[in-house]
Structure 1
């Protein structure tokens, strides 16, 4: 098993960070890598959805189905891939914590790459860390921009 653990502090109100990052339908605007996000079903707080990436240079289009369950009281989201693709499994935990500088958003991914592929856990860890850090910076920028356009709210 391998894991990643990445965090960023977003200078914005908790409600805004929570709302923007948990609105799966808007992820193609929030994440640079997603071309489409389709909600497939809802059961209680759990959302099942398909994410589609922008096409590769060779035209290949990658997609998978995941589910996520947000807990707004604990400010956590548990997610997992249902269609695992190159992974034996992929589980994610998103946590949100208020700090003096804003909201710390942390993503932890636990996974194992299937055997027989031309890459393993080490290479996937590097890829996931690179992509996660890039996407977190983009999200920080977009949420902070949205916060600058909103009136201040005491929370």
Structure 2
């Protein structure tokens, strides 16, 4: 069947922030997973001046889709054009443009254009794509506004850290432990419940109950992308109130002595309003970062140590 006719959408939001700062944030695609709700993972594949290729994994109507796009960044015109190189069904082709229109030094209208075609003109496919574009555009523009209006620089609200452990075992044994998150309730003391589904190889969606140090239980939802036995990236899609975003990575690197360095990395975007609600009006961003880091690092370190014991016991036996 022939592809559908090209559809066009326009979404916009007014943000109390300079146009250049908004352009910089959208241009920095590797920050997207922690900022934009739909984006699970983003990588810059190659870059040549203002032209680049990026790889994205993103939620669309609850499904994880992945594609590679070409982008053209025009700082003078304050625009970012994008075009998918190979689209995921039911999308046949998609592209668009971010436009940043200054209204003053501290106010900008951000416009997000999309054009797309579906694999055929079936109403259900057109409706599915339109809903995904509308939902994701609204989520991205809304978060862009909220983040930029909370602070002059997103970096002030961002917490990044990592924990590592050295394991005397093959990386495959460690990876098996980290990948099999459905077994975590029986293997990790701080995980009391796990619901995991894998609709496509290496793409996992999980809902987990975690026990905090004070005995309370917290429920989080995450999407994970598992790569080649050496790397798992994830994004929390249901967050504690003090966080506006949380992404992470499990990375396995073989060492010269035959051991494996296993690292847990976190990137957290602090939610100022959430911090005030949960931790109190007087708690500063830096104090909130310290509290969040302690909690996340405790769980990461526990997981790393159990992964080490799991892998080394099987290596010895």
Determine if the TM-score, normalized by the shorter chain, exceeds 0.5. Answer: yes
* Cα 1:149/1:7, change in 2 over 3 Å: closer
In the alignment, which of 116, 125, 131 is matched to residue 126 of structure 1?
131
Matches of 1:3 and 1:149, distance apart in 2: 31
Matches of 1:117 and 1:108, distance apart in 2: 23
**Which aligned segments of 4 or more residues in structure 1 are displaced greater than 6 angstroms?**
none
Matches of 1:54 and 1:88, distance apart in 2: 17
In the alignment, which of 92, 97, 103 is matched to residue 93 of structure 1?
97
* Cα 1:118/1:103, change in 2 over 3 Å: same
* Cα 1:85/1:130, change in 2 over 3 Å: same
Matches of 1:81 and 1:88, distance apart in 2: 10
Deviations 1:12-70, CA, capped at 9 Å, x for gaps:
1122111112111111111112121111111231110111136997xx64211111111
In the alignment, which of 65, 68, 81 is matched to residue 62 of structure 1?
65
Structure scoring higher RCO (CA < 8 A, sep ≥ 6) equals 1
1:153 aligns with none
In the alignment, which of 143, 150, 157 is matched to residue 145 of structure 1?
150
Work out whether residues 61 and 132 of structure 2, in 8 Å CA contact, stay in contact via their aligned partners in 1. no
* Cα 1:37/1:8, change in 2 over 3 Å: same
TM-score if structure 2 supplies the norm length?
Answer: 0.43
2:76 aligns with 73
* Cα 1:123/1:136, change in 2 over 3 Å: same
TM-score if structure 1 supplies the norm length?
Answer: 0.83
SS state at 2:152 partner: helix
Provide structure 1 residue ranges, at least 5 long, that are not aligned to the other structure.
151-155
Q: Does 1:18 align with 2:23?
A: yes
Matches of 2:44 and 2:127, distance apart in 1: 31
2:213 aligns with none
Matches of 1:39 and 1:127, distance apart in 2: 23
Provide structure 2 residue ranges, at least 5 long, that are not aligned to the other structure.
1-5, 156-317
Matched residues, number: 148
